Amino acid sequence: MRAWTICRRELQATFSSVVAYILLAVFLLLAGYFFYSDLVFILLVSSFTPVAGLWQWVFLDMRLVTLLILPLVTMRLFAEEKKLGTMELMWTYPVRDLEIVAGKFAAAVIFFLIMLVPTAIPCALLYSFQPFDLQPLLAAYLGLILLGIGFISCGLFVSSTTENQVVSAMVTYGILVFFWFLTWNEEAANQAALRVLLGMSLFDRFYNFTRGVIDTRDVVFFTLFISFFLFLTWQSLASRKWRGVP
């Protein structure tokens, strides 16, 4: 109940600031442009049906836009409250730390989902011209949603460690890009290490979804990744008990 109160206030604050709309606009412009250019490209090179392979291209591009936007959504979640001093007040209300984490997390996830809704429009248009198998598209969306929520949980944690929003966004970029580049140069790692790294790479895990494959192991990995950072966030809030409040 209190988590919902926090989530609601968070969403109100988000949508009453112009930043939310700028982020939404940039996200949709980029996503829309990538959809268009990928579609044109597929039509040029493939004499076959346009849909085969299209989702892979589109969602690999959407991944980048999501990576660009979400740390800017999560950066203020805790950092702003710490800067304002409202975080200290929240700790004096009868609310558990876990509820605070849940409220903030839910607000960012809801914003992300709202951000994704308009991206279904071009897909629906395409479907109206040429119906296609929906399963691969839905798999790709599921993958993107899991990936985005992973970004959010990471960003939420980083935001809980600082009161500077720029630091919050930059460190989140750093961590997420690290999880991406982990396997970029496959020659740099030996085979044993590579297998472990591949298992941990967010983006390699995401790749399967874009091909229309929902692998339970991938879903479990994302769930673990998200839970891990939510746990860290919870611990980060609890650290005031021995570190004090600035």
Partner 1 sequence: MISVSGVTKRFGSFTAVSDISFEVASGEIVGLLGPNGAGKSTTMRILAGVFPPSAGSAHIAGFDVVKEPLRARAAVGYFPERVAAYLDMSVESYLRYVGRMKGVARPELAEAARNAMTACGLEPVAKRIIGSLSKGFRQRVGIAQALTGEPKVLILDEPTAGLDPEQVAEMRELIRSLKQDRTVVLSTHILPEVENTCDRVIIIHRGRIVAVDTPANLNRTIQAAGRVVIEVNAAVSEVAEKLGEISGVVSVSPHPRAVDGAASFTVLTERDRDVREEIARAVTDSGWGLRELRSVAYSLEEIFLTLVNEDGEIQRNDDAGVDDL
Q: Which residues contact 124 (CB under 8 A, 6 or more apart)?
A: none
Instruction: Give min distance, CB of 91 to partner 1, in A.
Output: 5
Cβ-contact 229, 154 below 8 angstroms: yes
Residue 92 found at the interface with partner 1 (CB under 8 A): yes
Q: What is the footprint of partner 1 within residues 37-66 (CB under 8 A)?
A: none
Residue 244 found at the interface with partner 1 (CB under 8 A): yes
Instruction: Give min distance, CB of 155 to partner 1, in A.
Output: 20
Indicate which single residue of 21, 22, 37, 96 sits in contact with partner 1 (rule: CB under 8 A): 96
Residue 90 found at the interface with partner 1 (CB under 8 A): yes
Identify the burial level of 145 via C-beta atoms within 10 angstroms of its C-beta, where 0-12 means exposed, 13-18 middle and 19 or more buried: middle
Residue 21 found at the interface with partner 1 (CB under 8 A): no
Residue 18 found at the interface with partner 1 (CB under 8 A): no
Instruction: Give min distance, CB of 181 to partner 1, in A.
Output: 36
Helix ranges restricted to H, the chain: 2-15, 18-45, 54-74, 76-84, 86-90, 97-116, 120-129, 134-160, 165-181, 191-200, 202-210, 216-238, 240-243
Residues that bind partner 1 (CB under 8 A): 2, 5-6, 9, 12-13, 16-17, 84-86, 88-96, 240-245
